[in-house]
Chain A
């Protein structure tokens, strides 16, 4: 499967610095079509407005957490198959188990590097 570097990606984090880091790392991996949301509700709104090919979301956000966002996405008939990667500092086993149960496509623990991000993107989207 070939990956379109122009595919629309939504990154979600309430920490502007983190959004900037993820955006820059994605850009260095040649992804160019990146949008941002600063919490789960804003992300959900954007996802329902136009099509995205991937969501990369933080977990710990207010008022809607990344896990709640994931559950909303999986419960939505139009969005349920959307690849969803969680990037979070929540590193307890129960968090990963819960996210898997909710249907997360992959899980990255912060701090992470570009190689890890690329590896998970390949697992979820295919080689690029």
Chain B
């Protein structure tokens, strides 16, 4: 494209002014940067003899910047942030929720057992009752852990949600690249383990595994 005309100069100025304004306002989305750089690169003179050293350097930099952005977009797409958002983070938060529920349930069971022991202690001679009471007090103290682990887990879940929001931003920004990458690299089976290894999946979330009743039915 020639930029010998006043029209080209004006278009370039308008483009730069618009870019400056958007940068100042902070409303330039990352997915637009590559396109803008390419628009600017269109003003690269066809005839290198007509350009100054500064212009050559500027357009060279723009060209390089455009290539870097293209490469970065392709690398981000290859990370498959859509998978992170759709699968890994929700799975992680579900597992953490399950930990909190399981420890809360276990703690209540422990406390119920301690209540029974305390009632029983009331029927014992004083010296024996004191031993039981001291032991139950230590159990109550130790059960503090459940509140603390619950609060710590909630903090981790919040951090995961914050990561999820940022990943969602990436998925929105690079949706087209991700779709192209996914089409060019069809996903293999999610779990590539085979044989006995494929059977090691750890505890299942509520409702995901088979119940003991289901298992018993298989043996009857």
Contacts and interface: CB of A to CB of B under 8 A. Distances in A.
Given A17-B143, A21-B143, A28-B133, A111 B114 contact: no
Given A17-B104, A17-B108, A24 B147 contact: no
A24 B114 contact: yes
Contact of A24 (B107, B111, B145): B111
B140 interface: yes
B144 A24 contact: no
Interface string B8-47: 0000000000000000000000000000000000000000
B133 A17 contact: no
What 7 pairs across the A-B complex have the smallest Cβ distances?
A111-B144, A113-B141, A18-B147, A24-B140, A17-B107, A28-B137, A21-B140
A89 B137 contact: no
Interface residues of A, number: 15
A112 interface: yes
Interface of B: 104, 107-108, 111, 114-115, 118, 133, 136-137, 140-141, 143-148, 150-151
A25 interface: yes
Contacts of B136: 24, 28
A111 B149 CA distance: 10
Given A20-B108, A24-B114, A28-B133, 11 more contacts: A17-B108, A17-B143, A18-B147, A24-B111, A24-B140, A25-B140, A25-B141, A89-B148, A89-B151, A111-B145, A111-B148
Contact of A114 (B104, B140, B148): B140
Contacts of B108: 17, 20
23 contacts: A15-B147, A17-B111, A17-B143, A17-B147, A21-B111, A21-B140, A21-B141, A21-B143, A21-B147, A24-B111, A24-B115, A24-B118, A24-B136, A25-B140, A28-B137, A60-B151, A89-B148, A89-B151, A111-B141, A111-B148, A113-B141, A114-B137, A114-B141
Interface in A15-64: 15, 17-18, 20-21, 24-25, 28, 60
A25 B115 CA distance: 12
Contacts of B104: 17
A110 B144 contact: yes
Contact of A110 (B107, B111, B118, B148): B148
A17 B137 contact: no
Contacts of B150: 15
A18 B111 CA distance: 11
Nearest to A27: B118
A68 to B, nearest CB: 18
A60 B111 CA distance: 23
Contacts of B137: 25, 28, 114
A49 to B, nearest CB: 27
Nearest to A20: B111
A20 B144 CA distance: 10
A59 to B, nearest CB: 11
A22 B140 CA distance: 8
Contacts of A18: 144, 147
B140 A110 contact: no
